[in-house]
Structure 1
Amino acid sequence: MEARTRRRVRDPIATRETILEAASNLLAKDGLEGVSLSAVAHLAGVNRGTAYQHFETREKLIEATIEWVSDKLFRAVFGDPATVGERRVEEVDTADLTDRLCGFAMDNPEICRVWLQQVLASPDPSQDPFWREYSGSLQRFANTRLAMPGVDAEVLSVLNLAGVFFWPIFARAHAADDDERQALSKRFSREILRLSMYGSMNASRFPEVAERLAAGEDAGRP
């Protein structure tokens, strides 16, 4: 009986995932300049022709990789995108959500930083699913009686995400073990919650600042 050569069954979805994971690793390691279809194909263990079948250009590969990271972020912080529309902002566990965001950033500092830089530099950040949900959820919160008056959800989104994604650099997360990273993540998460709940200035001691903020809120109303 003749031996039959078995052909490997191709899985386009798995191959695409492998390529995107390799691209995200290169982005995290070398930035945009280090990403090419050839380099990604080599790291992913596929031939260059296969990479070109999935992504015709380097630009499309980078765009798809940023979207891939956004999806990972979304699922880590908010859960299944299909269920997000069912959430009421009043029922969200803010502390738990903040912990998940900080934990993901601590475990994936480089790629989170690349994602943030790309999204904020894009012509329309609202096209990114994670940014749209994160900023949108803060805006929905600001529109409720749970929030202090005058919250600028867009500015607050940038402040929070920039802090969360750059904290691991300052904290030298790459040199920490799992327990140390978890402690650093909790430390940052706690400070975000403390600032959100109490701020950092005693309003009674800064009446001029309080007056300026109140005037700014009035100026912004129609």
Structure 2
Amino acid sequence: MEAKVKRRVRDPAATRETILEAASNLLAKDGLEGVSLSAVAHLAGVNRGTAYQHFETREKLIEATIQWVSDKLFHAVFGDPETIGERRVEEVDVARLTDRLCDFAMENPEICRVWLQQVLASPDPSQDPFWREYCGSLRRFAATDLSQPGVDAEVLSVLNLAGVFFWPILVRAHAADDRERSELTRRFSHEILRLSMYGSMDSRAFPQVEERLRKGMRVAAS
């Protein structure tokens, strides 16, 4: 009597996750030009028809991949999206949040860089969950008594994320091992916090710059 071949149970959610992970790897390695449904299907170990069942076009695959990376970022930095509404910005541990962001960027440098470029190039970056929460958090913080006056949350978000996501590229080119990469990650996290807390210029030495900034804050407030 022949033994029956056990049929593999299909798991559409797991297959979709595998395809998106493969797409993110190609996106990080080769940029947008390297992403095609055929190439992604091959890397994911599925046939092209299966890939097309989940994503009808290359454009939809890329859009879903950027969203997938954004979700990974969101969970790594902010935690469960369901708890965001319960969190008061005044109670956020800024140092730990900065460390989590820097750690994720160091582990996923190419993906983070591509994500940032795509989100900032989109017609409406606020549609991206991570960008919306990161920039929104800074905007809510700027409205509290904990903030320096005149903070431009959107500009500060771009400056922070661009630095956080591009620093690992330099680090990985020069760090000898994991220990050194970890040390360089902490250096960057420290400098982000130091700049946020103290800035980099002594206002007493730059009265003209101070006056320009004061004028800018008055214009923004009017």
**TM-score, scaled relative to structure 2:** 0.97
Q: Alignment RMSD, CA only?
A: 1.1
Matched residues in 1 for 2:169 and 2:45: separation? 30
1:174 positional shift: 8.2
Q: Quote the residue 1:60 is aligned against.
A: 60
1:171 positional shift: 1.9
Name the aligned partner's letter for residue 209 of structure 1.
V
Q: Quote the residue 2:26 is aligned against.
A: 26
Q: Which runs of 4+ in 1 moved over 6 A?
A: none
Q: Quote the residue 2:150 is aligned against.
A: 150
| Aligned 8 A contact 1:27 1:114 in 2 | yes
**Count of paired positions:** 222
Q: Quote the residue 2:216 is aligned against.
A: 216
Q: Quote the residue 2:190 is aligned against.
A: 190
Q: Quote the residue 1:87 is aligned against.
A: 87
> Where does the alignment leave 5 or more consecutive residues of structure 1 unmatched?
none
Q: Which secondary structure does the structure 1 equivalent of 2:169 belong to?
A: helix
Q: Which secondary structure does the structure 1 equivalent of 2:145 belong to?
A: coil
**Aligned-residue identity in percent:** 82
Q: Quote the residue 2:51 is aligned against.
A: 51
Name the aligned partner's letter for residue 142 of structure 1.
A
Matched residues in 1 for 2:164 and 2:172: separation? 13
Matched residues in 2 for 1:138 and 1:208: separation? 27
Q: Which secondary structure does the structure 1 equivalent of 2:6 belong to?
A: coil
Matched residues in 2 for 1:129 and 1:176: separation? 35
Q: Quote the residue 1:179 is aligned against.
A: 179
| Aligned 8 A contact 1:173 1:181 in 2 | no
Q: Quote the residue 1:35 is aligned against.
A: 35
Matched residues in 2 for 1:192 and 1:176: separation? 23
Q: Which secondary structure does the structure 2 equivalent of 1:172 belong to?
A: helix
| Aligned 8 A contact 1:106 1:173 in 2 | no
The CA deviation string for residues 90-139 of structure 1, in whole angstroms up to 9 with x for no partner, is 10000000000001001100000000000000000000000000000000
Matched residues in 2 for 1:11 and 1:173: separation? 39
Q: Quote the residue 1:114 is aligned against.
A: 114
- Assess, with a 3 A threshold, how the Cα gap between structure 1 residues 175 and 14 changes in structure 2: closer, same or farther: farther
